[in-house]
Structure 1
Amino acid sequence: MADASSPPLATHAASPVTPINLVLLSLFVVLVYLRLKPAQPQTLPKAPPPIVFRTFTPPELFPYNGLNGMPVYLAVRGRVFDVTAGKNFYGPGGPYANFAGRDASRGLACGSFDEDMLTENLDGPLDTLSDLDAEQMEAMRGWEERFLEKYLVVGKLVAVGSDEAKAAAAHQ
């Protein structure tokens, strides 16, 4: 006979299906699924189009001013630089925007961003810069060195009608 002070005997075992166990099991299943699900294949970013060194005349260089999705190029002493990475400075609305798509040599040498520093007649001869003094030439070389350190040379600027322009047109 059972004593009145002893606990009652358990007649059946406790069920393992409890709300907390269901939550823990669900969490475990979700974690296993996330760990084992196939990963999406890695996609590499699309490579930029290759830049080919080419010969430009001033009218051919002019559209490379950052407008209409075009890259930003400018020329210094006959070298054409891709300054698209510095679009905030050389592109539309930037402080050097008037040099985009143009020969910037005289303006950089003189430290002037004025329109009168740019060659007006794009079909005319290139600016020889022969009237610049030694200090202006040194300033231009300093700019050219900075561009060489930071930007790619993508071409050469030649006058319209020159032998080099004719040869480049024949190869296109």
Structure 2
Amino acid sequence: MESETNDSITGKILALFLRLIHDIYTSPINLILVGLIIFLLVKLFLLKRKPTYSASTVKIQPELPKMPKQDLTVEQLRTYNGTDSNGRILTAIYGDIFDVSRRSDLYGPGGSYSLFAGRDATRSLSKMQLTQSLFTDEYDDLADLTDNERATARSWHEDFREKYDIVGRLLKQGEKPSVYPTEESTVDSSANNDNKKNE
């Protein structure tokens, strides 16, 4: 009984489809309308796939050379805000300074995270808030953060380590900067070690 009902429904749908094809095929106006509909659908699909920006409006910034490692005070870090530093943008999290220059769209002037530029972002990230009051012009020892806030900041620190280069440490008042080997001497010393092993 059910199979007879399904067969009759299928038969009716097939008959309607064949009649529709016949009506379109036999009428020049229907053929023109179907062609126009197909043309508009293709045009609409292609418009959606095109980018909404033009090459002339996109500003391509030259990639900055890798920054040599150096420790900075809070005052020195402030100069790496994307404007005073020829485009170089640094931010600090838990004492490590990260070079975020390649994401100037986020951290540069007008970016979503421009408050981080040239600043210690640890307190802001630990509280998951982007407010000016969470940034200070002095070294922040973060002593008043809760354990949960510290864990949140450490999680952000790990995330930044995966994405950006660490270029140094944020210095406390009176702390002496570390002396880092230059990139060339690091390469030379590893080559010398390889030569010694071969001898």
SS in 2 for 1:141: helix
Structure 1 residues 86-111: Cα deviation after superposition (integer angstroms, max 9, x where no partner): 21111111121111001110001011
Pick from 174, 188, 191 the counterpart of residue 161 of structure 1: 174
The 2-side partners of 1:117 and 1:57 are apart by 18
Are 1:67 and 2:83 counterparts?
yes
Aligned length: 117
CA deviation string 1:103-132 (max 9, x = no partner): 110001011111110113x3xxx2111211
Q: Residue 49 of structure 1 aligns with which residue?
A: 65
Contact 1:58 1:157 in 2 (8 A): yes
Q: Where do residues 7-156 of structure 1 align in structure 2 (5 Å cutoff)?
A: 48-68=64-84, 69-120=86-137, 122=138, 126-156=139-169
Alpha-carbon deviation of 1:51? 1.9
CA pair 47-93 structure 1, distance change in 2 beyond 3 A: closer
Provide the rounded CA distance (Å) in 2 between the counterparts of 1:94 and 1:76: 19
* Contiguous gaps of at least 5 residues in structure 2: 1-61, 180-199
The answer to whether the Cα contact below 8 Å between 1:65 and 1:73 also exists between their aligned partners in 2 is: yes
Give the structure-1-normalised TM-score: 0.62
Aligned partners of 1:63 and 1:70 also within 8 Å? no
Q: Work out the CA distance in 2 between the residues paired with 1:96 and 1:47.
A: 20
Per the TM alignment, residue 48 of structure 1 is displaced from its structure 2 partner at its CA by: 4.5
How well do the aligned residues superpose, as a CA RMSD in angstroms? Answer: 1.9
**Greater Rg by CA:** 1
Q: What CA distance in whole angstroms lies between the structure 2 residues aligned with 1:67 and 1:137?
A: 30
More contact order relative to length (CA 8 Å, sep ≥ 6): 1
Letter in 2 for 1:83: V
Please report the TM-score for the alignment, with normalisation by the length of structure 2.
0.54
**Helix, strand or coil for the counterpart of 1:88?**
helix
Distance 1:127 1:47 in 2: 31
Where in structure 1 are there 5+ consecutive unaligned residues?
1-45
Letter in 2 for 1:63: T
